[in-house]
Chains A and B, each alone.
Chain A
C-alpha cells in the first residue's frame, strides 16, 4: 500500500512531539494564564480596559478572552513561527529532505503532512491556553456569568461555549500566520529567517493597522481578524466581523500555501 498525506502527517506529529522546540510555545501557553492570575492577585488594578476586561475578578471565564487580546499582538505569532517556520527549513539544514524525497511519497504529500502538523500545533497551542486559563481563572475567580460588549449577562455555560468559539475564530488568522511561516520556511530554507520574517510580517500588519485609519483597508488586514471573535460577545451576535475573519484569514492562508507548494514541488535539492 502506498503511503498517503496522512502517513506524512502522523510522522510530522511524531517528530514535533520529539523536539524540545515544540514545548516552548505550549509551555508558555500553559504558564501565561497562571502568571497572569498571580500578578492580578498581587495588585489591586488590572487591564480592565481590555476587551471584556471588566469581567476580570468577576468570573474566571473572562481570563481566556482577555489573554487572547494580549497574545494576538506578538506572542501567538512567535509561538506559531517557532514551529511552522522551522518545519521545512530544518530539514533542508539537516539534510533529511533529500532523504525523504527519494521515498514513495510525493513532495506535495510531504508538504501537506507538514502543513497539517503545523496547523495541529496551532490548535494545540490554543487549547492549552484555553484549558490553563479556564482552570486558573476559575480557581481564582469562580465560574460565573460574563457581561458581554452589549452589557448583557451571559450565563456561565453559554459563555464557556462562546469562549470555545472565540478560540476557534482566533485560530483562523493564526493559521494564516502559520501558513506564511511555512511559506518562508520553504522559500528561505532558513529557520531563523523564517521565524524573524514571520514576526516582521505580523508586526508590519499591526503597524499598518495603527497607521491607516481607513476602515475599508484596516478591516482586511490579517491583524484585524484576531478581533473577529468579539462578534460572538454582542447581543445579538455581530456576524460581519466573524464572517470577515473567516474569509480574509482563508485568503491569507491560501496564497502563501499555494506558492509554498509550487516552490516545494519543483525545488532542486542541491548542496544541502
Chain B
C-alpha cells in the first residue's frame, strides 16, 4: 500500500522483510527512489540486493512490508504495476535456440503496444545488429548483458531496474554499459542499479542505498554520505610532539595519531577552529591543516563492518 507522498515515486519500498527459515534475507528495509535518480543499490554479495529487486519486480512476495512503483503495488497489481518499468535480476536469460532478434520479437510481443517498432534501433544501440540473426546460445556473456538492456528498453520504461549490469563484462564493455546508463539517465529515465562495485556506483549514481546483512545502513546522496562521516584532518607543524599534546587537550578532537611528521586526528569543524587558535597560542607554526575526505570504499567498509559487528553482538547476546 502506498502513502500519499509515495504515490508518484518511481520506487517506494517500506519495511520489506524476507526470511528463509532462520535466515533473515531482508530485515525491514526502506528504499525511496525519486524521479530522475540514478540510484545505486550497493552492498556486498549476499546482502539482500537481489532479493529486494525481485520484490520490486513482483517475482518474490515479502513476508512483511509493501512496495509501490509509481503508486502501484507489484505484489497485487501485476502486470499493470510494471507499466513503465523494466529490468532484470541477476543475469538476463534468453531462449538459446532462438536468435537475438527473435528473442526481442518474443519479448516485444509479450509487451504489446509498439514495442516491436523499437527492435531495430535498440539492436543498434546495444551494438548487436550484426549478430541479431545468430542464436543466443552462441552469444558471449557481454552480448547477453547488452541484449538484456535492449529487452528492457523495449518497454520504453520510465524506471529501469538493473541488477549488476556490468557483471561478466570486460573493461571496455563495462565502460560502454556505464556510458549507456548515463545516457539513459540524461534522457530523463530513472535508474535503479544494484552493484557491489564502488567505483561503478561513484561514477554513475546520484543517490545510493547501502545494504548490509539485510538492513539499509545508509540512504542518501554521495555528497551527504561523505559529509556525514567524521572528517579526519592532517596537521603539519613546527613541533609534532607539542602539537599532539595540544590536540589531545582540545575538546572534540579524537583519534590523534602521528605518521612521519604529520599529526592526524578526527574532529568537527568547530573543534578545528578552537584547535587552530590553541596551536597558535602555544607558539607552533602551522604548515598545513587539511581535511582528508574518506573514499567511498572506506565509508562502505565502515558502514557494512558496523552492521556485521551489530549482528555479532546480537548473536552473542
Contact = CB atoms under 8 A, between A and B. Distances in A.
A103 B82 CA distance: 7
B98 A103 contact: no
B109 A3 contact: yes
A94 B95 contact: yes
B271 to A, nearest CB: 49
A270 interface: yes
B86 A102 contact: yes
A158 interface: no
Nearest to B154: A103
Interface in A99-156: 99-107
B112 A106 contact: no
Contacts of B282: none
A43 B3 CA distance: 81
Interface in A65-115: 94-96, 98-107
B interface, size bucket: 35 or more
B110 A3 contact: yes
A106 B79 contact: yes
A103 B79 contact: yes
Nearest to A21: B97
A15 B109 CA distance: 13
A105 B110 contact: yes
Contacts of A15: 95, 97-98, 106
B59 A99 contact: no
A2 B82 contact: no
A7 interface: yes
A19 interface: yes
Contact of A99 (B85, B107, B109): B107
B97 A19 contact: yes
B64 to A, nearest CB: 15
A102 B109 contact: no
A268 interface: yes
A263 interface: no
Contacts of A259: none
B93 interface: yes
Contacts of A94: 93, 95-96
Interface residues of A, number: 28
A95 B91 contact: yes
A103 B111 contact: yes
A155 to B, nearest CB: 47
A238 interface: no
A8 B98 CA distance: 16
B58 interface: yes
Contacts of B85: 102
A11 B105 CA distance: 10
B227 interface: no
B60 interface: yes
B18 to A, nearest CB: 9
B51 interface: yes
B94 interface: yes
A101 B75 CA distance: 12
Contact of A102 (B51, B57, B112): B57
A104 B94 contact: no
A106 B78 contact: yes
A140 B184 CA distance: 68
A85 to B, nearest CB: 18
A98 B106 contact: no
Contact of B92 (A8, A11, A99): A99
B33 interface: no
A269 interface: yes
Contacts of B54: 98, 269-270
A104 B89 contact: no
Contacts of B106: 11, 14-15
Interface string A1-14: 11100011011001
A8 B89 CA distance: 22
Contacts of B102: 14
A19 B97 CA distance: 7
A99 B60 contact: no
A98 B97 contact: no
A25 B22 CA distance: 46
B94 A99 contact: yes
Contacts of B78: 106-107
A240 interface: no
B61 interface: yes
A96 B98 CA distance: 12
Nearest to B83: A104
Given A103-B107, A269-B60, 11 more contacts: A2-B112, A11-B109, A15-B95, A19-B97, A96-B93, A99-B94, A104-B111, A104-B155, A106-B79, A268-B61, A270-B54
12 contacts: A3-B110, A7-B110, A7-B112, A11-B110, A18-B97, A18-B98, A96-B95, A103-B79, A103-B107, A104-B155, A105-B110, A107-B78
